Amino acid sequence: MEQLSTRMKQTIIKAVQDINRPDLFREPLIGFSSANDPSYQELKTIIGPWHRLPGELLDEAVSVISYFVPFTRAVVMGPTSTVDASYVWGEAYQEINRQFPVIDQLVSELLHDYGFQTQTVPPSHTYDPVDLQCYWSHRSTAVIAGLGRIGANRMVITDKGSGGRFCSIITTAHLEPNQTVAKERCLWHINRSCQKCFDICPVNALGPDVMDKFACQDLLNKYEADLIRTAALESADACGKCISVCPVAYIE
Ligand code: B12
């Protein structure tokens, strides 16, 4: 299936190029995991029993495709260049969220041509607005696919940094799981020499042992209202300060 995984990676890379926003997005990173990786069962304990196994979303699931679309330096630096909401971060957030279903469709069509099934999951807003519980984590899927490790800001830090967004597709095709173990890049985890993400959060939602997701969500909603009112964006519940301030948010 080497030929299939190569064609798939080319499809995702070309689809991001075809968005034709080199001012916002860079070449994506792509990784595969086995649908039977025991980490998926572990997530039912780490996250909760509501988190689905790949096989609970697609019968005969064999592999999971995880991909990361990294933002440009200008986008990643946006949130720390403004006091409140960052327009360029909001625009990149809105635009890539709109493009993920297009990219997922192209990948699904390729796999269907080879006779395989797929199940896609939207990039965001797949959570219960009351308890913010989500049935499928693109973030943990990316970790299982070896694309990165979770930093103190709870964001996945890839070889191109944490500034960007993830999506994933479940399939009945066999795609060789990533064997490489991602490098630890978070300075808090390495030697406690950095806590910029904790310090910058405007609502103190982030700490070593606490992530107040409701306080964070409230700020995202406020910023979205600002961006809709002032900048004609439509769906941009985005802040990004805990990413933007991070020394490894943007890696060339
Ligand atoms: C619900 C949600 C939110 C909620 C709640 C976040 C939360 N902590 O649960 C709110 C609204 C607060 C939020 C805020 C933000 N979000 Co949000 N959010 C999501 C969403 C929809 C579901 C995430 C979720 O609930 N997962 C369940 C939680 C409990 O588990 P988890 O995500 O898997 O992660 C934890 C565990 O896995 C755990 N873990 C512990 N041990 C182990 C061991 C293993 C082996 C593994 C695999 C995992 C693991 O560590 C993780 C971190 O706590 C995802 C999209 C998706 N479907 O994945 C985006 C997502 C996580 N958000 C994202 C972003 C960028 C943001 C914001 C920066 C807003 C913005 N866009 O500007 C802020 C950052 C807040 C922060 N620092 O965490 C990105 C993350 C990108 C990255 N580099 O990692 C995602 C992946 C969206 C995307 N498609 O890219 N978000």
CATH, residue 10? 3.40.109
pLDDT of 79: 97
Say if 62 falls within a structural domain: yes
Distance 66 CA to ligand 1 centre (A): 14
* pLDDT beneath 70, residues of the chain: 1-2
Widest CA span in the chain: 51
Say if 252 falls within a structural domain: no
Q: Please give the Cα distance from 1 to 5 (Å, whole number).
A: 6
Q: What residue's CA is closest to ligand 1, atom 71?
A: 238
Say if 59 falls within a structural domain: yes
Q: Which amino acid is at 194?
A: C
pLDDT of 130: 86
pTM above 0.95, yes or no: yes
- Nearest ligand 1 atom to the CA of 123 is 89
Torsion sign, CA atoms 219, 225, 226, 231: positive
Say if 106 falls within a structural domain: yes
141 pocket-lining for ligand 1 (C-beta < 6 Å) = no
240 pocket-lining for ligand 1 (C-beta < 6 Å) = yes
pLDDT of 31: 97
Q: Please give the Cα distance from 163 to 75 (Å, whole number).
A: 8
Say if 249 falls within a structural domain: no
Q: Please give the Cα distance from 173 to 59 (Å, whole number).
A: 12
Say if 250 falls within a structural domain: no
162 pocket-lining for ligand 1 (C-beta < 6 Å) = yes
The closest of 140, 175, 234, 195 to 4, measured between CA atoms, is 175
CB 223 within 8 A of CB 84: yes
Q: Please give the Cα distance from 217 to 211 (Å, whole number).
A: 11
Question: What domain range includes position 68?
Answer: 2-244
241 pocket-lining for ligand 1 (C-beta < 6 Å) = no
Distance 25 CA to ligand 1 centre (A): 20
Q: Please give the Cα distance from 193 to 39 (Å, whole number).
A: 29
- The domain tally of the chain equals 1
Q: Which amino acid is at 11?
A: T
pLDDT of 1: 62
Q: What residue's CA is closest to ligand 1, atom 59?
A: 124
Say if 157 falls within a structural domain: yes
Q: Please give the Cα distance from 133 to 138 (Å, whole number).
A: 13
CB 93 within 8 A of CB 227: no
pLDDT of 217: 95
Q: Which amino acid is at 74?
A: A
CB 104 within 8 A of CB 200: no
Distance 134 CA to ligand 1 centre (A): 9
pLDDT of 236: 87
Distance 213 CA to ligand 1 centre (A): 10
For residue 68, the surrounding DSSP H or E stretch is strand 63-70
Say if 17 falls within a structural domain: yes
CB 87 within 8 A of CB 231: yes
The closest of 230, 211, 106 to 167, measured between CA atoms, is 106
Q: Name residues whose C-beta falls within 8 Å of residue 232's C-beta, 6 or more positions apart in sequence.
A: none
Three-state DSSP at 124 gives coil
Pair of tokens at residue 37: 């990786």
